[in-house]
Amino acid sequence: MAERFQAPRGTFDVLPTSSHARAQVHDAAAEIFARAGYGRVETPIFESTELFSRGVGDATDIVRKEMFTFTDQGDRSLTLRPEGTAPIARAYVEHGMHKLAQPVKLWYSGSYFRHERPQAGRFHQFNQIGAESIGSDSPLVDAELIVLLDGFLRELGVPGVRLRLSSLGTTETRATYREELRKHLRAHESELSHDVRERIDENPLRAFDADDEGTKGVMESAPMMVDRLDRDDAEHLAEVRTLLDQAGVTYELDGTLVRGLDYYTRTVFEFESSSLGAQSALGGGGRYDGLVAALGGPATPGCGWAAGIERILLALDELGPAPSIDVFVTAPDGRRDRAFAIVRELRGAGLRAELDQAGRSIKGQMKQADRVGAGRVVILDDEGGAAVRDMKSGEQRELDLARVVEAVSTNGGEADGRS
Ligand code: HAM
């Protein structure tokens, strides 16, 4: 026998049994974004590697060790997108979107790729739904985005949601703060993990994310950026907080919140669910007022978030089941082509209709109708006659095939199981 293949490690197949739940998550997002005036954007699956090293940051774990990078036939270095914000900022610049009315509000949904150690809720290929609002530095933008993600998770019924909020200040205030943090880390160098010690110069803020006891102890007395904000940044944060309070969104101000991407300025936030394990982040984001300029565009503020679809699905107990079939048409061998035509007619009228395609006996076809949850069965007989049976009540009556759509639609009232 030939060798069998498996999906690559860290990837998964989406089968019809789970695709309906995904579609519900997607539809809920589409509805929420439409109401808030966000337009859908799609960018390529791969981009030039340089976009991410410059946009996301050379010192981040994502760029240092998690990217799927390859060289194409033209000797260009390309990377499967690990995130969507840098590509969207690239598209904003490339298409001159700064000439449009600002802010430009965009949403997206698609696959992303990170070479992280696979575990529950962490994959090499995963899916994100996200939003970016580019072109305004108003706190109204930050608050709108947070309210949208909060509403999205609420609407889906994700349990145990917690929101952490902080501010990373501006590049300048952060540079001063970084130096202060480095001094603190150096003063306690022997207590730090090897990894954190190695990156004191390059990325000291990552020490807040370390999970070893030594580093955690050192970070308890570390200075926090949120206490070092300049007046404008502190005011911005205060305004975002007021708007969230007014909207009834509860959050925790958490100065230890650092994000794994270097483009953030000012507001950062993360939604977690207590029903997830170690990978508890449902989604997160923040403001990135320097990103568009770093990618060669005019100085332009921006803010956004992305949420992991697989994490949301994991956290949810269950979404509604896939809608079942309205009508199953059974037929003896001599009338299968008639059944085929009737099914086409029913589908054309907007009904969910099926027929047997596996040569089953009439008894087998009835069983199959039951299996697919058909509300009604149209039964063709050998003599050219037909009947319709309501599967719930078992009631059966003769049927005029010239009026099959009408008969099936009215029999038993509304079609069952349709969403
Ligand atoms: P992120 O926090 O890196 O942010 O990713 C957002 C979400 O994607 C995470 O909270 C998580 O739910 C999901 N996620 C990340 N990595 C994986 C993985 N390996 N497997 C499964 N799910 C994963 C960003 O990507 C930023 N671009 C968000 C943003 C938009 N910031 C501003 N605008």
Residue nearest ligand 1's atom 20 by CA: 122
Give kind and range of the element (H or E) at residue 112: strand 104-113
* Ligand 1, pocket-test mutation among 9, 272, 311, most atoms within 8 A of CB: 311
Q: What is the structure's pLDDT at 416?
A: 42
Q: Which long-range contacts (CB under 8 A, 24 or more apart) does 402-405 make?
A: 404/342, 404/345, 404/346, 404/378, 405/345, 405/346, 405/349, 405/351
pLDDT tens by residue, the chain, 419 residues = 899 999 999 999 999 888 999 999 999 999 999 999 999 999 999 999 999 999 999 989 999 999 999 999 999 999 999 999 999 999 999 999 999 999 999 999 999 999 999 999 999 999 999 999 999 999 999 999 999 999 999 999 999 999 999 999 998 999 999 999 999 999 999 999 999 999 899 889 989 989 899 999 999 999 999 999 999 999 999 999 999 999 999 999 999 998 989 999 999 999 999 999 888 899 999 999 999 999 999 999 999 999 999 999 999 977 777 788 999 999 999 999 999 999 999 999 999 999 999 999 999 999 999 999 999 999 999 999 999 999 999 999 999 999 999 989 864 444 443 33
**Pocket of ligand 1, beta carbon within 6 A:** 83-85, 114, 116, 121-123, 126, 128, 130, 132, 260-261, 281-286, 288, 304-308, 310-311
**pLDDT for 417:** 39
What pLDDT, on a 0 to 100 scale, did the predictor assign at position 277? 85
Q: Is 223 left (phi over 0), alpha (psi -120 to 50) or beta?
A: beta
Nearest-angstrom CA–CA distance, 306 and 285: 6
Here the tokens at position 384 are: 């050219």
Mutate to test the pocket of ligand 1, among 126, 275, 288 (most ligand atoms within 8 A of CB): 126
Supply 231's token pair. 């007046």
Residue 5 has what pLDDT?
Answer: 97
SS3 78: strand
Q: Are 265 and 291 a contacting pair, CB within 8 Å?
A: no
CA distance 314 to 249: 23
Task: Determine which helix (DSSP H) or strand (DSSP E) holds 302, and give its type and residue range.
Answer: strand 302-308
pLDDT attached to residue 17: 85
Length of the chain: 419
Give the H/E segment covering residue 137. none
Say whether 389 sits in a helix, a strand or coil.
Answer: strand
3-state helix, strand, coil in the chain (%, to 5): 40, 20, 40
The secondary structure of residue 66, as a DSSP letter, is -
- DSSP 8-state class, residue 88: H
* Atom nearest to 259 CA in ligand 1: 2
Helix (H) or strand (E) holding 388: strand 386-390
CA distance 194 to 417: 58
103 cis-preceded (ω within 30 degrees of 0): yes
Q: How far is CA 175 from CA 169, 202, 260, in A?
A: 10, 12, 17
Query: DSSP letters along 390-408, please?
Result: ETTT--EEE--GGGHHHHH
Structure tokens at 339: 């059944």
- Which amino acid is located at 225 in the chain? M
- What atom of ligand 1 comes closest to residue 121's alpha carbon? 21
Tokens of 33: 């974004």
Q: Which tokens in the block code for residue 199? A: 């990156």
Q: What is the pLDDT of residue 409?
A: 85
Distance (Å) of CA 407 to CA 135, 294, 329, 370: 56, 65, 13, 20
- The alpha carbon of 221 is separated from its chain's Cα centroid by a whole number of angstroms, namely 36
Amino acid at 371: R
Q: Residue 181 corresponds to which amino acid?
A: L
Q: Which amino acid is at 343?
A: V
Choose the residue to mutate in 109, 113, 128 for probing ligand 1, maximizing ligand atoms within 8 Å of C-beta. Answer: 128
Q: Determine the distance separating the centroid of ligand 1 and the alpha carbon of 75, expressed in angstroms.
A: 29
* Burial letters 134-171, b for 16+ CB under 10 A, else e: bbbbbbebbbbbbbbbbbbbeebebeebebbbbbbbbe
Nearest protein Cα to ligand 1, atom 17: 122
Amino acid present at 249: V
To 10 degrees, the CA torsion angle through 11, 13, 18, 21?
60
Question: Counting atoms of ligand 1 from 1, which one is nearest the CA of 270?
Answer: 10
CA distances from residue 106 to 96, 124, 293, 300, 307 in whole angstroms, order as listed: 15, 25, 18, 15, 14
Q: Residue 71: which region, alpha, beta or left (left: phi > 0; alpha: psi -120 to 50)?
A: beta
